[in-house]
Structure 1
Amino acid sequence: MLTVKYLVDFMVNARPEDLQEVLIGSGRRFEDCTLAELVEAGNLCLVDTEDDSVYAIGGIANENVIWMLCTSKVEKHFVKFLRYCRETLRYLLEDRKILYNNVWKENELHVKWLKWMGAEFLKETDTHILFIFRKRKEALDV
């Protein structure tokens, strides 16, 4: 669960590409989001239990819109991060059929991560790609 301590850790170590993705996607800087907005959008936090440091924060907004922002720790400990993510995605899909969002194409690490996690890429624009995670194969009504 996201705490103030973990949010501070995230802000100190956030990947610049991830913060840029928020700005490009929403027109707002992440640091200008209110705590209420952040909690409403989800309060997941992937933390390394060995040193209590943050890999990523994220959540599910509007029922099925998954989002995640990473720290530089994911670049240093990619395999461990991916293991955490697989477990978390399985958990998040337990009571949902789909999760989706758009990824900024310039955030190459996110695109690579989504491919590795098994995301399907559905629609591409000049700047973003719509992706989906499915619990089971079924038609998407988005």
Structure 2
Amino acid sequence: MSHAITGVEPCVVADSGLCPEGWNEPEGRGVIGWQTLISAGLTPSKGLTAGIATLEPGGFLAPHRHAPDEIYFVLEGRALVTIDGMEREIAQGDCLFIPGMAEHGSRNVSGARVRVLYVFPVDRFEDVTYLFSDSKGDGVA
């Protein structure tokens, strides 16, 4: 099927290396930054959303769930990811599948920056509702 039929055009988005979005909530959702790369509304795309999350040393994303499946691909560094209570260390070059509604969180376990490409099978990032396990999270993305 050509893009003329689907009404969606190819696009290229550059990784700026910056994190224009994120949370700095050590007692809540976490200390993490991200750059959304592909998301309807930002790009002429549909069906997939992708971005790069960055965890500086000591950074983390608190345990949470969301309905869509998710893929992580580690671009740089090492992180400890906990999925449904099971810890896994992931490092540069690793690809991880996280099933929808699996409780998961991640923590930078090194002295260096961690960068992870994340992908969701949704049109836009705003379609992912984060449900944090600790009552301190407010349940929003």
TM-score (norm 1): 0.35
Higher relative contact order (CA 8 A, sep 6+): 2
Query: Which is richer in helix?
Result: 1
TM-score by length of 2: 0.36
